[in-house]
Structure 1
């Protein structure tokens, strides 16, 4: 009887030791197989998914929210450039003879007024200064095709066919400068909406250049 009890105790000890060994092996195996195990032996999926999530977020920011110096230069240059085009277009209703020129001027104003507000809004959101009204230098560098003060005076004093010709000649040069600025933005900018507006400027103003050349008999 004593021998039987002793044997049973020995069997229980061996069984307990075996069970403990199995538990330890299971825990040790988990640690060895997955170095990313977190507290309590559970894997930490957040650590592996976080880089992908951060990458996706950064990618979204790059396409929508991030901007660079080229975007700022584009907006700061295009605001006064557009303002001058609108200023020129405002002269047409009382001076132009051609109905085509009057319509062209109206189309220019209709397209560029909203773009001025959009560009100004971007600059404000980026913490940049919006060029002041009336403070533009007509001969400013990096603003291709800007009309000089003398040319603006000539346009203001013209009427009829003389106005039509001067307006289109100056606006062709003005548009060509805007197209060049827009191409630079598309090449160097990173802000998605600005690159989109640049594409729209290239398309619309290139079409207007072609129209004005035809009206001038250059087509």
Structure 2
């Protein structure tokens, strides 16, 4: 009985403690502004336009894809990466850093944002080619491009895990690597089934 009462008293305190830890331990300045380094800033600054391009590609897939599997995957990509863009933007604002401009459908601001050397980014020409494709030709092009895009994001996420300092940014990098590796396997399976 006493043990049950203790568990009933301690469990809510543990839950509260974990919630506070997830929010930066109750000290919003330490986790957000103090516990980060240049790699964390680079990760967020580069991953935002990278994600924005993936969301743009996903929107094209919803409009142009023939396969329902491709459309379902596109919805998953948008649902995951949209909130991650908001999360990383919030970190940059808190850290006093510039947030990349992703307006203009993802392409307008990206051509001038120094994304040329970013792993997995599609060129404007590739994006135009994808946008003008339809049906099964679109599906194949989208899957091939998105596999390359995801591989680039995984490379960026691994760099963050190796060199970053912010626990939140490292956690997100781990999530990106895990999620996108699974999506690559799904995309390869869809390509093989066509």
Instruction: Please report the TM-score for the alignment, with normalisation by the length of structure 1.
Output: 0.69
1:132 alignment counterpart: 101
4+ runs deviating over 3 angstroms: 61-65
Unaligned runs of 5+ in 1: 1-60
For the structure 1 residues 186 and 142, does the alpha-carbon distance in structure 2 shift closer, same or farther, using more than 3 Å as the test? Answer: farther
- Bigger mean CA deviation after superposition, 201-210 or 129-138: 129-138
Cα distance in 1 between the residues matched to 2:126 and 2:48? 20
Matched, 1:119 2:88: yes
Matched, 1:191 2:166: yes
Secondary structure of 1:106 counterpart: helix
Residue-by-residue CA offset, 1:72-119 (whole Å, 9 max, x unaligned): 000000000000000000011221010100000000000000000000
- Taking the TM superposition and a 5 Å limit, the aligned residue runs for 1:58-97 are 61=30, 65-97=34-66
- Taking the TM superposition and a 5 Å limit, the aligned residue runs for 1:115-194 are 115-133=84-102, 134-137=108-111, 140-194=115-169
1:98 alignment counterpart: 67
Cα distance in 2 between the residues matched to 1:72 and 1:101? 32
Q: How many equivalent residue pairs?
A: 158
Instruction: Please report the TM-score for the alignment, with normalisation by the length of structure 2.
Output: 0.77
Shift of 1:64: 8.9
Shift of 1:140: 2.1
Shift of 1:137: 2.3
Shift of 1:159: 0.5
